[in-house]
């Protein structure tokens, strides 16, 4: 079984310091949380950015400041900006980080109810636009899917040339409005992607570590971090993203999976070696 790629989603766009005081907002806080996760074993930093007051932003300038600060501490890490942004942002706002030409970026492949009146909108034309622009910049998309139909959408658009193969998926499990985080659901999702594809699993809230454990056993990869879950265990707030990564490393070692370095993650994902 290939080595395990760990992604740390260090802050997201919705979680706040009220949920966990360690959630990073400032450039310095984001860089420090990224560094801790990297030292613990994360090869990829999935990046949202905030203004100093915690307001989510897709500003290319803010992304550049955070990415530069992260690279200063961990020069070989893979930084994966989000093009999801926050609910209600325009396509142009959401796409701003790809102007920095990162190695990877997220590509959401469907619309999802996020609770109340919040709808995370990704029309077919939005997905095509994002896919074409990532291809033009040689950015590998992480195909974000919240349900089985989104896998089908990605496969169909890949056949039409909007997403390059081999595809790398992220299964977001247990989010409100998406597929739940039960073992049968992950088995179904993992069995639905094309041969030669890779996948990461993001379990939301209480689903985080059960889904990560199952992903390790199935040969997939793992994402943890404050974006998805702020607890180390039931009722115990994690002190840092590093603590969440360290827990994945412990589980993986017990199950016989070695941890991929950033260089090994690039090889698994088909990214160019970093100079």
**Which CATH number goes with the domain that contains 88?**
3.20.20.70
- pLDDT higher than 90, residue 155: yes
- pLDDT higher than 90, residue 88: no
Dihedral sign computed on CA atoms, order 41, 11, 155, 180: positive
Q: Left (φ > 0), alpha (ψ -120 to 50) or beta: where does 41 sit?
A: left
- Check: CB of residue 200 under 8 Å from CB of residue 5: yes
The edge-to-edge listing of strands for the beta sheet with 6-9 is 78-81, 44-47, 6-9, 221-224, 198-203, 168-173, 140-145, 104-108
Query: Is residue 50 very low, low, confident or very high in pLDDT (cuts 50, 70, 90)?
Result: very high
Domain assignment present for 275: no
Q: Check whether the bond before 189 is cis (ω within 30° of 0).
A: no
pLDDT value, residue 86: 82
CA–CA separation, 212 and 118 (whole Å): 27
Domain assignment present for 1: no
Residues spanned by the domain of 78: 6-269
Domain assignment present for 274: no
- Check: CB of residue 200 under 8 Å from CB of residue 176: no
Mean pLDDT of the chain: 96
- pLDDT higher than 90, residue 114: no
Q: How many CA atoms lie within 13 A of 102 on its CB side?
A: 28
pLDDT value, residue 1: 85
Q: Residue length, the chain?
A: 275
- Residues 192-247 pLDDT 10s: 999 999 999 999 999 999 999 999 999 999 999 999 999 999 999 999 999 999 99
More confident residue, 119 or 173: 173
pLDDT value, residue 159: 98
pLDDT value, residue 116: 86
Q: Which candidate, 229, 213, 80, 191, places its Cα nearest to that of 144?
A: 80
Domain count, the chain: 1
pTM here is 0.97
pLDDT value, residue 188: 97
pLDDT value, residue 85: 84
List of residues 6+ apart from 57 with CB closer than 8 A: 49, 50, 51
Domain assignment present for 98: yes
- pLDDT higher than 90, residue 275: no
CA–CA separation, 89 and 87 (whole Å): 6
pLDDT value, residue 144: 98
pLDDT value, residue 80: 98
């Amino acid at each position: 079984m290939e080595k395990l790629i760990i992604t740390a989603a260090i802050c997201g766009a919705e979680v706040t310091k009220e949920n966990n005081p360690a959630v990073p907002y400032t450039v310095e806080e984001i860089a420090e949380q990224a560094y801790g996760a990297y030292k613990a074993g994360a090869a990829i930093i999935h990046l949202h950015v905030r203004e100093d007051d915690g307001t989510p932003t897709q500003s290319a300038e803010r992304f550049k400041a955070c990415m530069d600060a992260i690279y200063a501490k961990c020069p070989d890490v893979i930084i994966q900006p989000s093009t999801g942004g926050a609910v209600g942002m325009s396509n142009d706002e959401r796409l701003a980080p790809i102007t920095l030409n990162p190695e990877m970026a997220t590509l959401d492949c469907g619309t999802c109810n996020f609770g109340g009146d919040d709808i995370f909108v990704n029309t077919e034309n939005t997905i095509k636009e994002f896919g074409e622009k990532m291809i033009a910049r040689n950015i590998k998309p992480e195909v974000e899917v919240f349900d089985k139909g989104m896998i089908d959408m990605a496969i169909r658009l890949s056949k039409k040339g909007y997403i390059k193969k081999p595809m790398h998926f992220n299964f977001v499990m247990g989010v409100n409005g998406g597929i739940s985080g039960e073992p049968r659901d992950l088995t179904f999702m993992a069995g639905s992607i094309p041969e030669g594809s890779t996948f990461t699993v993001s379990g939301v809230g209480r689903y985080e570590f059960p889904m990560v454990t199952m992903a390790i056993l199935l040969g997939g990869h793992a994402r943890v971090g404050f974006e998805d879950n702020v607890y180390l265990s039931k009722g115990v707030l994690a002190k840092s993203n590093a603590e969440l990564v360290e827990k994945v490393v412990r589980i993986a070692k017990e199950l016989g999976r070695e941890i991929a370095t950033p260089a090994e993650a690039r090889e698994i994902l088909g990214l160019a070696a970093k100079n």
